[in-house]
């Protein structure tokens, strides 16, 4: 008889969601969404993607982390500057403090149990803020001499290059000292939160393009959008999702050893 647990299931990846107004034939309704690129990349790496609707409360975040093997912080709108002690800059775009606070609760819940976290674009910024860092609210008006980080291309090809910091997890994943990435952001990490390491910087202006926590099994954030670069076919971006899902699989195996699921005798 095959016992439950004998057949290894795919690691479950909880994806943070983007609350958007979705227009139906007659109404506009707030709707929790995840762009399909994230779903496709998690699946291609062998994970089972599930959506985590934005909620209120750290107890809800803990309950979500009970159900997943990894946390994917997706991209989205701007982060509320109150969360790093600033007033809103005139050039700030749409913010959703409910999402900000839920994602920060998810991050702390994941870190408490050592679950892998991958942050994309807004995701890396929220990771930094959660650990006490801050961000530029608007790169063009707050960072003199920045290269253009708002991509102006029809397709999803690369826009600028990044330099990888040797010895970091991200450098190991990328497999080269310099790689091309896409760029869809007007905010970026500024002061790095205590314990975090800048793993990548933009060629041309040194903007932070990657952060990670070497104290955690997998706590990696990137400023670019791996889920759409070269329409999801960029080899470096695929390796990033592969490494994240592999870390989620390792985490799940270790967690199941700690808390064995014993099937009742029949």
Alpha carbon distance 227, 37 (integer Å): 5
Could you count the other beta carbons within 10 Å of the beta carbon of residue 232?
18
How far out from the chain centre does Cα 243 lie? 13
Binding string, residues 140-179; x marks residues near Mn ion by CB under 5 A: ---------x------------------------------
Alpha carbon distance 58, 51 (integer Å): 17
Nearest to 183 by CA among 166, 165, 208: 208
Alpha carbon distance 54, 92 (integer Å): 22
Q: Which is nearer to Mn ion, 54 or 223 (CB)?
A: 223
Q: Which is nearer to Mn ion, 159 or 218 (CB)?
A: 159
Q: Give me the least distance between CB of 23 and Mn ion, in Å please.
A: 31
Q: Which is nearer to Mn ion, 84 or 159 (CB)?
A: 159
Q: Looking at 43-51, 69-77, 182-190, 248-256, which segment touches Mn ion (CB under 5 A)?
A: 182-190
Alpha carbon distance 202, 105 (integer Å): 29
Q: Looking at 26-34, 66-74, 80-88, 180-188, which segment touches Mn ion (CB under 5 A)?
A: 180-188
Q: State yes or no: is 225 an active-site residue.
A: yes
Nearest to 75 by CA among 41, 110, 119, 108: 119
Q: Give me the least distance between CB of 221 and Mn ion, in Å please.
A: 13
Q: Give me the least distance between CB of 210 and Mn ion, in Å please.
A: 10
Q: Give me the least distance between CB of 149 and Mn ion, in Å please.
A: 4
Q: Does 183 bind Mn ion (CB under 5 A)?
A: yes
Q: State yes or no: is 258 an active-site residue.
A: no
Restricting to residues 76-105, name those near Mn ion by CB under 5 A.
Answer: none
Among 41, 64, 103, 121, the one annotated catalytic? 121
Contact indicator for 55, 105 with CB cutoff of 8 Å = no
Nearest to 129 by CA among 169, 68, 82: 82
Active site residues: 121, 225, 227
Q: Which residues lie near Mn ion (CB under 5 A)?
A: 149, 183
């Amino acid at each position: 008889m095959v016992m439950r647990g004998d057949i290894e299931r795919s690691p479950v990846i909880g994806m943070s969601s983007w609350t958007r107004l979705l227009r139906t034939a007659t109404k506009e309704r707030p709707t929790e969404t995840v762009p399909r690129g994230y779903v496709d990349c998690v699946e291609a790496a062998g994970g089972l993607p599930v959506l985590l609707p934005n909620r209120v409360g750290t107890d809800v975040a803990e309950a979500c982390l009970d159900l997943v093997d990894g946390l994917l912080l997706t991209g989205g709108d701007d982060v509320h500057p109150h969360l790093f002690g600033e007033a809103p800059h005139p050039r700030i775009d749409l913010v959703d403090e409910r999402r900000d606070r839920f994602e920060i609760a998810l991050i702390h819940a994941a870190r408490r149990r050592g679950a892998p976290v991958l942050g994309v674009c807004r995701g890396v910024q929220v990771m930094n803020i959660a650990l006490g860092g801050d961000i530029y609210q608007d790169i063009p008006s707050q960072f003199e001499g920045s290269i253009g980080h708002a991509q102006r291309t029809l397709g999803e090809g690369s826009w600028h290059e990044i330099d990888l910091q040797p010895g970091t997890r991200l450098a190991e994943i990328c497999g080269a000292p310099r790689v091309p990435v896409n760029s869809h952001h007007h905010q970026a990490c500024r002061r790095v939160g205590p314990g975090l390491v800048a793993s990548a910087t933009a060629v041309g202006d040194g903007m932070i393009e990657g952060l990670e926590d070497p104290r955690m099994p997998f706590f990696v954030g990137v400023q670019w959008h791996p889920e759409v670069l070269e329409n999801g076919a960029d080899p470096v971006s695929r390796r990033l999702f592969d490494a994240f899902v592999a870390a989620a699989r390792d985490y799940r195996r270790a967690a199941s050893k700690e808390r064995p699921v014993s099937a009742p005798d029949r």
